[in-house]
Amino acid sequence: MPRVARLDTTRLLHHVMIRGIERRSIFNDDEDRENLVERLSILLPKTKIQCYAWVFMPNHAHFLFKSGTSGIRGE
């Protein structure tokens, strides 16, 4: 059963999780992890979203984001 749509409003904290299909790895190596952090460092300021914390595990990752003035989806 699908989850209920995320409440998307300004300046709200969001726990966001990404997960590999069938519990497969989402990262091949440290370079993959660094690439994701680099992309976030570019994307977050553009969307005015703040990242308070993250954790990477082999098959999933968690993030704590605070949405900007346009919500979590950005503009």
Cα-atom radius of gyration of the chain, to the nearest Å? 13
So where are the chain's domains?
A: 13-66
71 vs 27, higher pLDDT: 27
pLDDT-based confidence at 31, cuts 50/70/90? very high
| Mean pLDDT to the nearest integer, 6-31 | 88
Q: What's the pLDDT score for residue 3?
A: 67
β-pair type (60-66, 13-19)? antiparallel
